[in-house]
Structure 1
Amino acid sequence: MDIHHEEHGIGEGRPLVLVHGALSGIGTSFGRILPLLAKSRRVIAIELQAHGRTPDIDRPLTVENFAADVVELLDRLGVERADLFGWSMGAAVALRLGTDHADRVGRLVLASVSFDDAGLHPGLLDGIQDLQPEHLHGSEFHEEYLRTAPDPAGWSNLVTKMKVLDANLPQWTPEQIRALAAPTMIVLADSDIVQPEHAVRMFRLLGGAVAGDLTGLPACRLAILPGTTHTTIPHRADWLTPMIDEFLDEDHRG
C-alpha cells in the first residue's frame, strides 16, 4: 500500500507524526495547525488506509493495522523514533503505538481519546450502524475525500468499513495505560464525545492530578479546551500550538 505522507518544516530532532481522525484527512484534521507546528520542527502528516490520498486495500480498518502502517512508514523514512499527535481515531492509533510499539515513540499528544467503551458518553454510538454514506454528503470530510481520494467513488465503502471499526472499538486496560512509557499530553474539548471524567481518570493513571507544588510536575499533561466540541478541536490551532510546542520541547530543556 502506498501510504500518502507529507513532510513539512525543518529540524534534525525527533519528528512529529500527525495522525488524522476517522473519515478525515490531513486537511480537515490538521490544516490549521500543521503550518504552525512546522515552524519549529519536522512534521510528517500521514493519511491512513482508505483515507485521503491513500488507497484502500482488501483488509479491515483497525487501529492495530493503522498503527502497524505508521511503523512501516517510519521504517521507510528511516525514522527510529517519533513524537505523535493524533486526533479522535488518530489518537487511538497513537495510543496503540505507545502501548504496542513503545520503542518507536517519543512523546504522545492524544486529542479526544478513550481507552475503553466507558469513556464515551452513554448511547453516543447508538444507531451508528444506521449511518448511510449519503448522510455525510456535503460535509467537510466528504468534500475533502472527493478532492483527494484516488477513487472518489470509494466513499461508500469507507463509511461501511468505519462502521465495523466503530462496532469494535479498541480497548486498553488500566494497567496498560499506567505502564505507558511515553510522556503523554491528553487534550479534550469541554463538549467532546469523551467524558471529562474519563480524561481525568486516564490522567491519574499516567501519574497526573497531583499537588505539583509539593510533588513536582508529572510527565503527563491534561488540557481541556473551553467552548469546544469534538469536531472543532482542529479549529483551536492558536490555543493548541504553544501548548504542544512546550510539551514536545520538554526533552530538550536543561
Structure 2
Amino acid sequence: MDNNQNIQPTESGYAPVNGLQLYYEVYGEGKPLVLLHGSYLTIPLNWSTFIPLLAKDRRVIATEMQGHGRTRDTTREFSYEAMADDVSGLLKHLKLDQADIMGYSMGGCLAFQVAVRHPEQVRRLVVLSGTYKHDGW
C-alpha cells in the first residue's frame, strides 16, 4: 500500500516560544491536528507513516519538543507543563484558536497537560500510551 511516504510539508520553520525556537512542520488542509512525539523521537521517527494518511483531510501540525530533533535544548528543566506551554505558544504563532491534540508516550503526557493548562485551545484530545501521573506508571 503506497501512503506517499515522501509527502513534503506545506510549511515548516521555527516558532519563537518561551525562550526557545520550536521546530514545526505543517501538512495538508482541514481541521488542525497537532502531533506530539514520544521521548527521544522526532517527527519522522514517530509520525512518518501516519502523516500522509492524516493529511488527506486534516491540517497536520507536527513539532519537535525541547531537546528533540531540530529544537535545541535550553537551560530550563524538562517538564510536561513547560512543553505544554510551548505547544500553546505554537498554536498562537500559527494563529489557531483551537486544535485537536494527539500525543504518543511522552507526547501523550504532554497532550494531557495541554488540555489541563490550556483547555480553551483543545478541541479533542487523543492520548496514546501516556500516563497522567508518575506514581501510577
TM-score (norm 1): 0.45
The aligned counterpart of 1:117 is: 134
> Which of the numbers 10, 33, 36 marks the counterpart of 1:16?
33
For residue 73 of structure 1, give the secondary structure of its aligned residue in structure 2. Answer: helix
Mapped pair 1:99 → 2:132: no
Q: Which has the larger radius of gyration?
A: 1
Mapped partners of 1:24, 1:37: distance in 2: 19
- Deviations 1:14-49 (CA, angstroms, capped at 9, x unpaired): x00000011111111111111111111100000001
Give the partner amino acid of 1:4.
Answer: Y
Mapped partners of 2:80, 2:72: distance in 1: 17
Mapped partners of 1:25, 1:60: distance in 2: 19
Q: 1:118 to 1:57 in 2, by over 3 A?
A: closer
The aligned length equals 118
- Deviations 1:69-89 (CA, angstroms, capped at 9, x unpaired): 011111111011110110000
TM-score (norm 2): 0.82
Mapped pair 1:25 → 2:39: no
Mapped partners of 1:119, 1:40: distance in 2: 36
Shift, 1:118, TM fit: 4.5
> Which of the numbers 3, 25, 46 marks the counterpart of 1:6?
25
Structure with a larger share of its residues in helix: 1
The aligned counterpart of 1:77 is: 94
Structure 2, unaligned runs of 5 or more: 1-19
Structure 1, unaligned runs of 5 or more: 121-254
Greater relative contact order, per chain length (Cα 8 Å cut-off, separation 6+) = 2
Structure with a larger share of its residues in strand: 2
Following TM superposition, the consecutive aligned residue runs of length 4 or more in structure 1 with deviations greater than 2 angstroms are 116-120
Identity among equivalent pairs (%): 42
Mapped partners of 2:135, 2:70: distance in 1: 33
Mapped partners of 2:79, 2:46: distance in 1: 19
